[in-house]
Amino acid sequence: MINTAYAQAAGGGQGGMDLVGLMPLVLLFVLLYFLMIRPQAKRAKEHRAMLQALQKGDEVVTSGGTLGKVINVGDQFVTLEVAANVEIKVQKSSVQTLLPKGTLKSAGNS
């Protein structure tokens, strides 16, 4: 009355399906790398190079939006002149942008 059940042999064609299943994950990682990781690393490298090249007389903008002229560069800190005889000391890493020479004179006339 009860039929005997037999196990079937494993399919030999299933080995390639594992690689196909991982393809979307690999493609997603490659896309993430080219759209997010690589551009961010490039910007960080350019920022480090700009900070290393800072010198007296450069005109900069800090991350807080302060415009100033570099009058002293140290290892960790930069002294900026933000107005006549007004100096502030900021962390070197807070300098965000190096402005073209003469920008502060044109910004003061506006």
Q: Which residue has the higher pLDDT, 96 or 11?
A: 96
In tens, the pLDDT along 47-98 reads 999 999 999 999 999 999 999 999 999 999 999 999 999 999 999 999 999 9
Among the listed residues 76, 46, 70, the one whose alpha carbon sits nearest the alpha carbon of residue 58: 70
Question: ∠ CA 6-9-12 to the nearest 5 degrees?
Answer: 165
Query: Given pLDDT bands bounded at 50, 70 and 90, which one contains residue 3?
Result: confident
Beta bridge partners of 70: 80
* Residue 4 clears pLDDT 70, i.e. is over it: yes
Percent of the chain surpassing pLDDT 90: 70
State how beta strands 86-91 and 67-73 pair. unpaired
Domain spans, the chain: 13-50, 55-109
pLDDT reading at 7 higher than 80:
no
Higher pLDDT, 108 or 83: 83
Distance between CA atoms of residues 100 and 77, nearest Å? 21
pLDDT at 2: 76
**Separation between Cα atoms, residue 77 and residue 69, nearest integer Å:** 14
The whole-number pLDDT of residue 9 equals: 62
CATH architecture of the domain covering 55-109:
Roll (2.30)
